[in-house]
Each structure stands twice: as structure tokens, then as C-alpha cells.
Amino acid sequence: MTLNTEQLIAMDQAHVWHPYASMDNPPPAYPVASAEGVRLTLTDGRQLIDGMASWWCAIHGYNHPYINEAMQAQMSNMSHVMFGGITHEPAVKLAQRLVAMTPAGLDKVFFSDSGSVAVEVAIKMALQYWHACGKPEKNRLITIRNGYHGDTFGAMAVCDPVNGMHSLFTSVLAQHFFCAAPPLGVHRPCATEDLAELKSQLQANHEHIAALILEPIVQGAGGMRFYSPDWLAGAAELCKQFDVLLIADEIATGFGRSGTLFACDRAKVQPDIMCLGKAITGGTISFAATLTSAHIATSISRGEASCFMHGPTFMGNPMACAIANASLDLLEQSDWQSQVANLEKGLEQLLAPAREFSFVEDVRVLGAIGVVQVTEAVDLGRIQAMLVEEGVWVRPFGKLVYVMPPYVMNDEDLAQLCGGMLRALQGYFA
């Protein structure tokens, strides 16, 4: 039996718990029937230009024939097989490609099934490394405020404990060190005082700190903040000075989103551990990877446990690996740099009028990311309905109304997306 739109919404509200949503008077969700290119088609026939790329993943757009073909070919052989004691060509090829394209020194690849788990893996790698080095007291992390690294317990513990989404759990989370977020501004020169608090905390606590974890250049769900590559380079130098590992969470920024293949590339930084996810499969299926150096991997393997103590059931899923390889094919065969640069230029021009709105605090653009920060938190249900009426799909949070469109979005669709967003904002604050 095919359900109509009203039945879908009613049954959804009765049984389905959506992310960060209440089940006590749940807001209506918008049923999607199909997705093609940069458009979502709702079950009632309306089409929406997707400005979110499905939470920043669908960089090639939806229903891409090349990715579909790779997925179908892999399904005909095997959709899954355990990764313990078994390997397969899609995983081996993908690992080799990730090593070749990421910053130098990241030679070992650990696969997992989501970004949050990739962060958990990175944290465990850092802790197990120092334990293997005979320094088990180096068992805490340091990070910067306004950060977001996922919703599992290890990841929550390094998200901003005050301004983040997980303050409810503070009393039961591992306790780590936090310092001020870098000042806003990608082109802002990094002054000595900008790194002073990080340096002070490392100086005082480095004997207990395993790693600094941060989102390079772009802080995502914790505030959509862009900061200087010079600050990142300075932080990396401080990590070396105080014998602390650097974990780069590139789950949101990896594969070109900020304008360089990886955000670390902007600062010419070589992290000790890097987390990848989201766009790794072009938004087709959940998958992630954590990369590290041969030195860290060998040290862990020669430690007390003689191995790395982690192993997700769906680790190295063959279908996900095949899809990731197809997505990387598309990325490498396209002129993604020009696509992202064109989106950056378009977003800057199209969102610029918002700077004159009385209810707007800031407008900022970097790569294929455009952010309008308003003066007060928006009511999600109300503004979402207004955006849908404009024919666009944008998912604001707090005071941030932002877009991260697929790289393949053309100028006309981008103009419609940004225009609809600004009209909805004007209507909301009228």
C-alpha cells in the first residue's frame, strides 16, 4: 500500500523520532519522494532546491548515474562482508587513494561507519598511543570552544560544553581542557595573543594532554565560524613544542568544501590523526575513515594490547568503499576547484544584500559555505515552512541560517536558493 502525504506525516509523527526533535508535539517532517541533481521532490509534487547537500554530503548532487552504477556492480558481488581477517579490493583501493590525497605522513587508514565513530576512533588512537609510549597519564584532550565533533560520548566530551548541544550530559562526560576559539576571519593575521590561552594551557597541562582536537579553519555545527590558517599553523607548532598530538576533524571540510581539498591544506599543516566522513561517499551512504601515521600505528601495535582496540561491525563495508571510490573518481575527474570557487563568488554576491538587514549580525562566505547570522534564534518550524514555500531546502539552527550546496549547483539554481533564503528571512523578521 502506498501512503499519501497526509498518511506519511501522521505515521511519521506517531512513530519516528527525528534528530534533535521532540516527540511531545513533534514538528511535521516533509516527505520526500525522490531526489535528482540538486532537487528534492516532495510527495505532494513540490520541488525544492537543496541548499544543505543532505548535511553537507551530496557534493555531486543526487542520483548520480556513475555512483549508482558502482553501487549496483558491488551489490551484485557482495554488499557486505566482515572486515576481521578479510579484505577486499574496494577497501584496499580506497585506503591507497586516501593516503595519496591527504597531507603527508597519514599512511594508515581505519574505516568506520559514521563521523562520530571516526572521532571516537581518533580519540582512542591518541590515548592508546600514549599508553603504549609509557605515558598513560596523558589521557585528556584539549580543544577549542565552539567546536562540534559528533553525538557519541567521546565526541560529545570535546564539543563546546557551554554553547554546544550537549550541556545536559556534562556531569557524565570525560573532562577535558577547553580554550578560547580562534578569532573570526580567514584572512586575519594571527597575533601572539590569539594563541596565548592555548599556549598557557599546554604549558601547564601538557603532561596530561594526549591531543589537541579541532575542526581546521571551519567550525561547523558549533557556530559556522571561519578562522585563520595562520592560527591553525601556530596551534600545530605548539603541539609539537609540547609533545601533544594534533587531531584534525575534517568530516565537514574534507573533499573540497572550504576551497582546498582539505582545510589543513590552507595552513600546510600535517596532523597526526585526521577524521574524514560526510562527503567521502558523495552523500550516498554513511561511511568514515580515521587516518594516522605509521609511527602512531606501530607504537600502538607494540603496546600492551598488541593491536588497536576497536572494530565496528560494518567497518570496511564493501559497498560503501565502492561508492567512496566512485565519488572520488567524480571529484578527481571534475574541476571541483572551479565549481567551489564559482559557488563562493556567487554566495558572496547573492548573500551580500543581507548585510543591510537590521536583523542580521554577520554574513560570511568561504568556499561552498554561506552563512547569515541573525540577531536572535529562529523558530525552526516556522522558518522551515517559509523556506519550503520559497521552493528551497535550508535547515537553520539557532541564529544561523546557512547553505552548503552541492558543488554541481548552477548559477540559476544558486540565485533561486539564496533569493528564497533572503525572502524567507525578511518575511520571518517582518
**CB contact at 8 A, 363 and 373:** yes
Contact 116, 158 (CB under 8 A): no
Query: Sign of the C-alpha dihedral, residues 86, 90, 95, 96?
Result: positive
C-alpha span between 311 and 299 (Å, rounded)? 18
Catalytic residue among 278, 399, 407, 428: 278
Dihedral angle computed from the Cα positions of residues 287, 293, 294 and 300, in that order, rounded to the nearest 10 degrees: -80
Closest CA to 141 of 180, 169, 182, 177: 177
Active-site residue, 194 included: no
Angle, helices 318-333/89-101, rounded to nearest 10 degrees: 40
Residue 249 annotated among the catalytic residues of the structure: yes
User: Using alpha carbons only, how large is the chain's radius of gyration in Å?
Assistant: 22
Q: How far is CA 37 from CA 47, 59, 284, 410, in A?
A: 12, 10, 13, 10
Can 268 be counted among the known catalytic residues? no
Helix (H, G, I), strand (E, B) or coil at 227: strand
Beta strand 32-36 pairing with 39-42: antiparallel
Q: Which amino acid is at 71?
A: M
Catalytic residue, from 50, 160, 249, 265: name it.
249
Q: Which of 30, 62, 148, 428 is catalytic?
A: 148
Give residue for cell 521552493.
Answer: 391
To the query of whether residue 20 is one of the catalytic residues in this protein, the response is yes
Catalytic residue ranges: 20, 148, 249, 278
